[in-house]
Structure 1
Amino acid sequence: MDKGYEKERFESLSIKRSVAKKFRSYCKSISKSQSITLLLMLEFFRDHGISPMDSLGPHLMASEVRILKRINAVIAIMRDMEKTQTKPTAAMILSLFEESAPNEKPLILEKKLTEEKPLKYREGQDEN
């Protein structure tokens, strides 16, 4: 039995046989009784302001536009947070690390030649 509707009487509706078969198979597929399935359908159409004869195109397009606007708003908020909070904080931390790092001198001193001496020709070397 349907919860909350146990004491109600049944009423008959006249519908075509082919429609009744399709409706019964749909009720079985969603595992609901015929009364509850019909009630859910009616509430769905009423709650969403949709008529079964309307095309869902305009309603879905309006929903999509609304969602895209919200996504753009979230992106703008994130960019603002990055600009006003993340980048300045990262810059301050970087400047602190740069100042605190000691100037390291090379441990091994390399002798630099000031002038290169020309090589003298030695006897016994092959010239190519």
Structure 2
Amino acid sequence: MDKGYEKEQFTTISFKVSVADKFRVFSKKMGASNSMTLLMMLDFFETNNLSPKESIGPTVHTLENLIKKRVSAVIAILRDMEKSQTRPTVAMMQSLFQEAEPKNKPLLVEKNRVEEKKVRFQEKRDNDNQT
């Protein structure tokens, strides 16, 4: 039963057989009784200020396709921004903040003073040539 309309009586409206059959199929798809389906349809037209005689203009599918195109354009813009701006900036920031590994060098190094001095050039002695 239709909630809120249990005590109301039925009335007869004459429809063509093809229209009545089409309406019954539509009512089954909606999952409501014929009376409730017709009531929902009337409420829809009244709420949205629509008339069956007027053209709605862009259909839902047309609007959906338009929105999808705009969303795709926004996604393309964001991807371009990510490639050209965000990734290079992140790479620079990571390289700046990456901690360089310290080399294991002692801070103070003692020089060996005991090393022999190597002589690269020697003077000729006159004694060596005379013998």
Under a length normalisation based on structure 2, what TM-score does the superposition of the two structures give?
A: 0.50
Does residue 66 in structure 1 map to residue 71 in structure 2? Answer: no
Question: How many equivalent residue pairs?
Answer: 102
Equivalence for 2:27? 27
Give 1:5's aligned amino acid. Answer: Y
Structure 1 runs not aligned, ≥5 long? 104-128
CA distance 1:78–1:9, change in 2 (3 Å): farther
**Higher mean C-alpha deviation, range 38-47 or range 27-36:** 38-47
User: What is the correspondence of 1:1-128 to structure 2 with a 5 Å cutoff?
Assistant: 1-45=1-45, 52=52, 58-59=58-59, 60-80=61-81, 83-97=84-98, 100=100
Provide closer, same or farther for how the CA distance between residues 53 and 70 of structure 1 changes in structure 2, counting only shifts above 3 A: farther
> In 1, Cα distance between the equivalents of 2:53 and 2:24?
21
Deviations 1:41-70 (A, max 9, x none): 334455566655677783232442233223
Query: Which of 1 and 2 has greater Rg?
Result: 2
* Distance in 1 between residues matched to 2:54 and 2:44, nearest whole Å: 14
d(CA) in 2 for partners of 1:70, 1:25: 36
In structure 2, distance between residues paired with 1:44 and 1:4: 19
| Structural RMSD (CA) | 3.7
Report the TM-score, using the length of structure 1 for normalisation.
0.51
Inter-CA distance 65–94: structure 2 relative to 1 (3 Å threshold): same
In structure 2, the residue corresponding to 1:58 is in which secondary structure?
coil
Structure 2 unaligned blocks of 5 or more:
104-131
Quote the sequence identity (%).
35
State the 1:77 CA deviation.
4.0
In 2, Cα distance between equivalents of 1:49 and 1:70: 29
- Name the counterpart of 1:115: none
